[in-house]
């Protein structure tokens, strides 16, 4: 399927759409491996109802379907243009709502699984966002952020964001493996933490007191 946008949402050398449309074979291989890890974790939870908070242009659902999974999936993103792009270019039956991760428009314990990939590093207070994700989850969370300092190092070696030493201009936080585990562990029980270079991923379970 051609993924050339019919809906202009701006050109940039960073961002979710640029990342997924980059023709570089290495980057596409890294993204493919990353999505495979996420898919395996979704299978591990055994759930069929998912909220993807910060869903962007719907690439995760596209990958899940290609892998043979077709969960009841709802996407939520702060950018209405990203949801519109998903419907026009990738998944015509895409169910997406406009919402801020700090104030998700869902009741407590609505979704057995809440996924949030490459979002927490973008928001001013990641802990607030994480608590909101846990609030609307009834059981599991799958979360990912860049693994630092390796993510910045890869950017720098590729000649990206040199004036910022490789740091993406949209990233407000940089998490080492230890810092990410500690942050997630303050809100949920970490069942698994691992890496898909240059990202890190956690599968966590909601605590009864969250």
Would you say 115 and 52 are in contact if contact means Cβ atoms under 8 Å apart? yes
pLDDT of residue 157: 59
* More confident of the two residues 170 and 103: 103
pLDDT of 188 over the 50 cut: yes
Give the list of residues 6+ apart from residue 200 with CB closer than 8 angstroms, or none: 144, 145, 146, 147, 175, 177, 180, 193, 194
pLDDT, mean over the chain: 86
Residues 29-40+48-206, CATH architecture: 3-Layer(aba) Sandwich (3.40)
Distance CA 165, CA 161 (A): 6
pLDDT of 174 over the 60 cut: yes
pLDDT of residue 101: 94
pLDDT of residue 102: 92
pLDDT of 149 over the 90 cut: no
pLDDT of residue 19: 78
pLDDT of 9 over the 60 cut: no
pLDDT of residue 1: 33
pLDDT in tens, 31-86: 999 999 999 999 999 999 999 999 999 999 999 999 999 999 999 999 999 999 99
Question: Length of the chain, please?
Answer: 210
């Amino acid at each position: 399927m051609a993924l050339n946008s019919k809906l202009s949402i701006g050109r940039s050398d960073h961002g979710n759409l640029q990342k997924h449309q980059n023709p570089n074979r290495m980057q596409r291989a890294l993204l493919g491996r990353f999505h495979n890890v996420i898919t395996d974790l979704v299978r591990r939870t055994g759930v069929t109802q998912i909220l993807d908070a910060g869903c962007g242009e719907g690439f995760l659902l596209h990958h899940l379907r290609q892998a043979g999974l077709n969960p009841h999936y709802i996407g939520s993103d702060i950018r209405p243009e990203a949801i519109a792009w998903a419907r026009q270019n990738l998944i015509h039956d895409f169910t997406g709502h406009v919402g801020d991760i700090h104030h998700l428009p869902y009741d407590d314990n609505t979704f057995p699984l809440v996924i949030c990939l490459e979002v927490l590093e973008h928001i001013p207070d990641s802990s607030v966002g994480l608590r909101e994700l846990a609030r609307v989850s009834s059981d599991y969370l799958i979360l990912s952020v860049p693994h630092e300092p390796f993510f910045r190092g890869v950017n720098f070696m590729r000649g990206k964001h040199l004036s910022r030493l490789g740091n993406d201009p949209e990233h407000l936080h940089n998490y080492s493996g230890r810092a990410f585990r500690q942050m997630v562990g303050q809100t949920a029980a970490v069942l698994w933490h691992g890496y898909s270079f240059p990202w890190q991923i956690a599968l966590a379970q909601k605590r009864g007191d969250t």
